[in-house]
Amino acid sequence: MQENKNFFSGEEDMELHLWNYIDGIAEAKERTAIEKLIAENAQWHIKYSELLEVHQILNSTELEQPSLRFTKNVMEEISKLHIAPAAKDYINKKIIWGIAAFFITIILGMLVYLVGQISWSTGSADVIKIDFGKLNYSKVYSSTFVNIFMMLNIVLALMLLDKYLSNKRKKLTGA
């Protein structure tokens, strides 16, 4: 008993535990302790009766009712509409993968270029020095590698655009 009193201290705490018990969400140990307190402690018993009555009244309250035309109004409204396609249908996975491939290609291209700029003969075994100030950007746009890289991206972009336009055309024609 004393143990239970220590376990549940304060009126708010008591109410919270009683609500858990009434709502049926108290765990087995808590439920047993509350049952014991309700049976043995007058204060707990009175509070339990109060809350139980509120709970029962809350359950018996009635729902509000809309006008009698409610269902008819909704049905009239939806008669003009169509169910929208599910989000997963109109988000084409190929487009997502295409976009991902585009960015991965850019990142890989940049990494390959940066690694190519590293001076491996710095004399130190621990530190790899990259002198960003000495990066020659004008060289980037003239080298064969970058030209190929840019062409690849353009082809990917055109493929995505084509995919997007053909999807749009399909939707418009209802195919």
Partner 1 sequence: MHTERSDIDIISQVLQGDKQAYALLVSRYQNFVFTIVLRFIKSREDAEEIAQDVFVKAYRSLADFKGTAKFSTWLYTITTTSCITFLRKKKLDMQSLDNEQVFDSADIIDSGMSANQVEQKSKVNMVSNAIKMLSPDDAQIITLFYKAEQSLEEIAQILGIEPNAVKVRLHRARTRLKDKMQTHFKAEVNDIY
The contact set with partner 1 (CB under 8 A) reads 12, 15-16, 19-20, 25, 50, 53-54, 57-67, 70-71, 73-75, 77-79, 81-87, 89
DSSP string, the chain: -HHHHHHS-SHHHHHHHHHHHHHT-S-HHHHHHHHHHHHH-HHHHHHHHHHHHHHHHHHHPPPP---TTHHHHHHHHHHT--PPPPHHHHS-HHHHHHHHHHHHHHHHHHHHHHHHH--S-SS-SS-----GGG--HHHHTTSHHHHHHHHHHHHHHHHHHHHHHHHHHHHHHT-
Q: Which is nearer to partner 1, 2 or 67 (CB)?
A: 67
Q: How far is the CB of 87 from partner 1 (least distance, A)?
A: 6
Q: Which is nearer to partner 1, 71 or 143 (CB)?
A: 71
Q: Which is nearer to partner 1, 72 or 129 (CB)?
A: 72
Q: Which is nearer to partner 1, 8 or 149 (CB)?
A: 8
Q: What is the CA radius of gyration of the chain?
A: 35
Q: Which is nearer to partner 1, 9 or 67 (CB)?
A: 67
> Rounded distance, CA 52 to CA 60, Å?
12
